[in-house]
Amino acid sequence: MELLDIIKLPDPVLRKKSAAVEQVDDDLRRLLDAMLETMYEAPGIGLAAIQVGVPKRIITIDTTRDEGPRKPLYLINPEILTLSDDRSTYEEGCLSIPDYFAEIERPASARVRYVDYDGKQQELQADELLATVIQHEIDHLNGVLFVDYLSKLKRDLVIRKFTKAARLDEREKRKHVAL
């Protein structure tokens, strides 16, 4: 399976709102499989299609990590139906914002409707970590990053850091090409 390139901050693609998927077919399932393998390899526990440059409402998730057999979830056109009033806080990170983590408070549970890998409509009651990952990934589909939940000062610092790193990386690439 071919691994996909994960887009990093400050790429403006990450701020795009993703479009609904019209039909589940073999091409979409190949993308889902490639996303899952890319997520595992990264390593991560969630990946939205926009993070690999595909502006479609598609998410892969597996919160098992090294705890037993893998249990991948494929959410196509996910929609949050309800969020709990109870809150939970997790230290979130993001494959598109490598090596940066922050405590983010979100609703502790969520009820979600989505289409699965086989094109069937499903509903899921998610709690704690799974609820957080689902909310994080659905945010991606809407062009929202977890750093948007930070204070303006912290968010601006993170964005500046990644913008500077991207400029330096681009200069380094150009230097190698010129030699």
Alpha carbons 42 and 44: distance in angstroms, whole number: 6
Average pLDDT over residues 88-116: 97
Q: What is the pLDDT of residue 137?
A: 98
Assess whether 137 carries a catalytic annotation: yes
Catalytic residue among 2, 37, 105, 137: 137
Q: Which CATH fold would you assign to the domain 12-150?
A: Peptide Deformylase (3.90.45)
Domain boundaries, the chain: 12-150
Contacts of 149 (CB under 8 A, 6+ apart): 102, 104, 105
A 10 A CB-CB count for 120 gives 10
Alpha carbons 141 and 2: distance in angstroms, whole number: 23
Alpha carbons 43 and 104: distance in angstroms, whole number: 20
Task: Judge if the upstream peptide bond of residue 69 is cis by omega within 30 degrees of 0.
Answer: no
Residue 46 has pLDDT above 60, yes or no: yes
Read off the amino acid at residue 178: A
Average pLDDT over residues 61-84: 93
Contact 127, 112 (CB under 8 A): no
Q: What is the pLDDT of residue 175?
A: 66
- Chain position carrying tokens 């809407």: 142
Average pLDDT over the chain, rounded to an integer: 94
Q: What is the pLDDT of residue 178?
A: 47
Average pLDDT over residues 139-167: 94
Band of the pLDDT at 66, cuts 50, 70, 90? confident
Residue 176 has pLDDT above 70, yes or no: no
134 CB-contact burial (10 Å; exposed 0-12 / middle 13-18 / buried 19+): buried
Q: What is the pLDDT of residue 111?
A: 98
